[in-house]
């Protein structure tokens, strides 16, 4: 299994510089999927505790990056406080931090706020009408299932694929569900001392195909395969984090 090889590489090079480099690249790719204005240069500036210079775009693009950095600065403490488990309150807290000052004016005018479950707005194939209570019940059931599993290198990708696919399907928030879902994948992996994964923005076709397959079949096989490929590209193939240049992080 390729993911086990990735774990060996991660454990061999694990230190603060390597994790910071991962967080930077993950933030760039995850935000780029959502917002094509995201630039690696701006992410690098902000992760060095500097304000991005020469940026003339939407300031929400910069805020999206800053919000990620704020979460990653405290993600290990957050995981420890929650014993690497998930809860409704944690989901709301992470969503609020992730989407702070990033909601569209249209959503704000409708009274939507980060960290609050939205009525309806389910993906195709699910109920058209859903109360916030119904959303919370579905999400709570999913989190209970994930929390009941002893996560290890053999089942990690299956667990996070299950979490991600159903979380996006439940679609609890008016905005930012994909962004938060990608973060939750790595919250779970890091919290269980396992290798995190970047979902690369230039692989979005495969990413959406895996989600579409799940929506049609309720099977997570394609997402597991996709995440294993992304783990390979993150840690083994010559990508942003590459084994050949591991020494630059040490």
pLDDT at residue 110 above 60? yes
Q: Which long-range contacts (CB under 8 A, 24 or more apart) does 214-220 make?
A: 214/165, 214/169, 215/123, 215/124, 215/125, 215/169, 216/125, 220/158, 220/161, 220/162, 220/165
> Is 120 a known ligand-binding residue?
no
Over residues 54-108, the pLDDT tens digits come to: 777 788 999 999 999 999 999 999 999 999 999 999 999 999 999 999 988 878 8
Which CATH number characterizes residue 166's domain? Answer: 1.10.3290.10
What pTM did the predictor assign? 0.89
Catalytic pick from 138, 171, 222, 233?
171
The total domain count for the chain is: 1
Q: How far apart are the C-alpha atoms of 165 and 214, rounded to whole Å?
A: 7
Q: How far apart are the C-alpha atoms of 146 and 196, rounded to whole Å?
A: 17
> Is 57 a known ligand-binding residue?
no
Sole residue written with tokens 């299956």: 158
Looking from the CA of 60 toward its CB, the CA atoms found within 13 Å total 13
> Is 208 a known ligand-binding residue?
yes
Number of H helices, E strands in the chain: 12, 0
Over residues 182-230, the pLDDT tens digits come to: 999 999 999 999 999 999 999 999 999 999 999 999 999 999 999 999 9
Domain that holds residue 133: 2-249
171 as an active site residue: the answer is: yes
């Amino acid at each position: 299994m390729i993911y086990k090889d990735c774990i060996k590489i991660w454990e061999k090079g694990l230190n603060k510089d390597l994790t910071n480099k991962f967080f930077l690249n993950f933030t760039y790719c995850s935000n780029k999927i959502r917002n094509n204005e995201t630039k690696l240069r701006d992410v690098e500036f902000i992760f060095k505790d500097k304000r991005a210079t020469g940026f003339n775009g939407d300031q929400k693009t910069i805020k999206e990056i800053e919000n990620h950095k704020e979460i990653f600065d405290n993600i290990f403490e957050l995981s420890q406080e929650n014993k690497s488990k998930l809860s409704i309150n944690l989901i709301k807290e992470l969503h609020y931090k992730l989407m702070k000052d990033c909601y569209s004016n249209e959503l704000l005018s409708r009274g939507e706020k980060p960290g609050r479950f939205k009525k309806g707005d389910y993906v195709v194939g699910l109920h058209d009408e859903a109360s916030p209570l119904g959303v919370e019940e579905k999400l709570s059931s999913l989190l209970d299932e994930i929390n009941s599993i002893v996560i290890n290198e053999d089942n990690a990708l299956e667990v996070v694929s299950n979490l991600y696919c159903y979380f996006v399907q439940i679609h609890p928030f008016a905005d930012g569900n994909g962004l938060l879902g990608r973060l939750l994948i790595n919250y779970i992996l890091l919290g269980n001392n396992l290798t995190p994964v970047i979902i690369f923005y230039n692989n979005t076709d495969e990413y959406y195909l895996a989600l579409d397959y799940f929506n049609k079949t309720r099977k997570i096989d394609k997402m597991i395969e996709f995440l294993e490929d992304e783990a390979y590209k993150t840690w083994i193939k010559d990508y942003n984090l590459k084994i050949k240049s591991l020494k630059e992080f040490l």
